[in-house]
């Protein structure tokens, strides 16, 4: 036998001896364990019996035996006894009140009719520049409908040699004075998509505590760390920014993406942000700025370019300008304007841009036709709008019962009760009574609606008056006088 074979046999013999010793030790352990602990042996025996019973037992019923044959009478009795669960919860008193206060209109024009045939002048429409009734713009829209159809599918498409969507984006960027812009199909989705496109968990957002609902949803989706500052209070904003920078320096944390988010003109109050001070703070503390100009684009500035033009600030000082094309422009959708890096990034990461159908071509045409109108005669249009806003404020001056927090150049004017000791729901009812009386005089108004349970700061209810260049000067003055008169009537009756 060779040395290799002998060595192999020795290894096998050694392994066999180790195996015998191992099982011998196990046998010894089990024997001593069961001798010293008979209860354990009994419990394990019962578990073994249960396992055998569970595996070997037959099912009590078969699928065929699950069906119960009912008579027709029994079926009818069960159907009569069944009470379905409500699909939605019953309306609260406040929700029922809100539902009953919604008017039904014959059309969306400024001169329209209610469902009962009464003529009214519409002061609840966001058609601030009356472009929705412009014959030349409407003619271009009809031609686009005949050429491209009504609907839209997928990303912005090409029609012949003209891409209407890209033309709209180029016109917006040129009009504002920035490198580029990107158009979204819905105004609400714009800022709620822009914010999470640039921020993620661990990044930092400093947000106005009275920000509109679209901003709130964008902030929520981004999952960033949030710090709030008091509405349009630049001193409080500086305090928050200083705290953030100081805390980061003390903890030696790495720099993260940091943004300030606010509105040019507030949707809930109609007041205007101090943009020069805001720009100074964002440079001082090295933050970026997202400015929502949903209510200031097309309504502020010498020619409607927005709040940057109003203050004479280079729009490139603002990192992202968000605007709506469905208010003053009377088209549809929204946009984000800024540098090419900002806009191009959203074409791959803006969820509302990627996963939504594009804006219908007819609305894109309406958008760039309206912008062309502003480029051509924006000065004249803005002067007419500011004149009507000033007239309304002048007529409402020193109202005994109502006050306005809105800026004098904002066409979206909020009127709220001076007496804030009145219960919140009662304020809603008082304002609605004033609205109903104005409706009898031929003026259609609405209350400002917010999702109050989600608001960080609960604001008092208000009437929203939307002034348009399509309203005659006499009509604006008559409306203000009617509101003052009916406020006196309603408040006097409530006091008595």
The residue among 171 and 155 whose pLDDT is bigger is: 171
Q: Summarize the confidence of residues 176-202 as an average pLDDT.
A: 94
In a domain, 46, yes or no: no
- DSSP E strands in 179-301: the ranges are 180-184, 204-208, 225-229, 258-263, 288-292
Residue 99's CATH number:
3.90.1150.10
In a domain, 47, yes or no: no
For the segment 46-104, what is each residue's pLDDT rounded down to a tens digit? 888 888 888 887 665 555 556 678 888 888 888 888 888 888 888 888 888 888 888 88
Q: What is the pTM of this model?
A: 0.80
252 in the same domain as 389: no
The CA-atom distances, in angstroms, between 123 and each of 118, 410, 465 are: 15, 14, 6
434 in the same domain as 405: yes
220 in the same domain as 171: yes
User: Is the per-residue pLDDT at 313 higher than 80?
Assistant: yes
Distance in angstroms (rounded) separating the CA atoms of residues 248 and 206: 15
User: Is the per-residue pLDDT at 7 higher than 70?
Assistant: no
Q: Summarize the confidence of residues 477-488 as an average pLDDT.
A: 95
* Residue 226: Cβ within 10 Å count: 15
271 in the same domain as 180: yes
User: Is the per-residue pLDDT at 287 higher than 70?
Assistant: yes
Number of domains in the chain: 2
* End-of-domain residue from the set 342, 360, 376: 376
Query: Confidence class of residue 155 from pLDDT cuts 50, 70 and 90?
Result: low
**Burial label, 205 (beta-carbon count in 10 A; 0-12, 13-18, 19+):** buried
* End-of-domain residue from the set 311, 341, 376: 376
Residue 30 has a pLDDT of: 62
User: Is the per-residue pLDDT at 328 higher than 90?
Assistant: yes
* End-of-domain residue from the set 376, 394, 425: 376
Instruction: State which residues form the domain around 428.
Output: 93-130+379-495
Residue 214's CATH number:
3.40.640.10
486 in the same domain as 451: yes
In a domain, 13, yes or no: no
394 in the same domain as 301: no
Structural element, H or E, at residue 328: none
């Amino acid at each position: 036998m060779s040395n290799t074979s002998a060595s192999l046999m020795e290894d096998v013999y050694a392994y066999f001896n180790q195996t015998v010793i191992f099982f011998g030790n196990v046998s010894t352990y089990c024997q001593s364990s069961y001798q010293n602990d008979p209860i354990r042996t009994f419990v394990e025996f019962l578990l073994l019996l249960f396992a055998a019973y569970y595996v070997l037992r037959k099912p009590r019923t078969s699928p065929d035996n699950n069906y119960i044959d009912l008579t027709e009478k029994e079926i009818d009795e069960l159907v009569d006894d069944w009470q379905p669960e409500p699909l939605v919860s019953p309306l609260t008193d406040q929700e029922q009140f809100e539902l009953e206060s919604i008017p039904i209109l014959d059309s969306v024009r400024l001169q329209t009719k209610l469902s009962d045939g009464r003529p009214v002048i519409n002061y609840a429409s966001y058609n601030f520049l009356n472009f929705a009734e412009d014959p030349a713009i409407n003619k271009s829209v009809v031609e686009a409908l005949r050429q491209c159809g009504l609907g839209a599918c997928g990303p912005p498409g090409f029609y012949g040699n003209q891409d209407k969507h890209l033309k709209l984006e180029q016109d917006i960027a040129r009009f504002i004075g920035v490198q580029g812009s990107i158009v979204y199909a819905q105004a609400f989705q714009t800022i709620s998509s822009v914010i999470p496109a640039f921020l993620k968990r661990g990044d930092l957002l400093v947000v106005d505590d009275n920000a509109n609902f679209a901003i709130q949803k964008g902030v929520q989706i981004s999952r960033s760390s949030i710090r709030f500052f008091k509405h349009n209070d630049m001193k409080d904003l500086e305090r928050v920014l200083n705290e953030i920078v100081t805390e980061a320096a003390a903890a030696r944390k790495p720099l993260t993406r940091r943004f300030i988010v606010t509105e040019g003109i507030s949707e809930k109050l109609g007041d205007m942000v101090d943009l020069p001070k805001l720009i100074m703070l964002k440079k001082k503390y090295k933050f970026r700025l997202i400015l929502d100009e949903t209510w200031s684009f097309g309504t502020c500035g010498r020619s409607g370019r927005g709040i940057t033009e109003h203050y004479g600030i280079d729009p490139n000082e603002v990192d992202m300008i968000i605007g709506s094309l469905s208010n003053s422009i009377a088209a549809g959708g929204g946009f984000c304007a800024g540098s090419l890096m900002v806009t191009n990034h959203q074409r791959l990461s803006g969820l509302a841009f990627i996963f939504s159908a594009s804006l219908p071509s007819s609305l894109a045409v309406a958008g760039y036709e309206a912008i062309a109108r502003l480029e051509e005669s924006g000065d004249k249009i803005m002067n007419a709008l500011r004149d009507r806003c000033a007239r309304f404020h002048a007529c409402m001056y020193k109202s005994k019962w109502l006050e306005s927090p809105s800026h004098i150049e904002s066409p979206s004017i909020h009127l709220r009760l001076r007496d804030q000791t009145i219960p919140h729901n009662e304020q809603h009812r008082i304002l609605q009574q004033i609205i109903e009386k104005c409706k009898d005089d031929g003026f259609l108004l609405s209350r400002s609606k917010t999702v109050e349970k989600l608001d960080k700061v609960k604001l008092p209810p208000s009437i929203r008056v939307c002034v348009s260049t399509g309203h005659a000067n006499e009509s604006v003055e008559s409306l203000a006088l009617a509101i003052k008169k009916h406020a006196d009537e309603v408040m006097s009756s409530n006091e008595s």
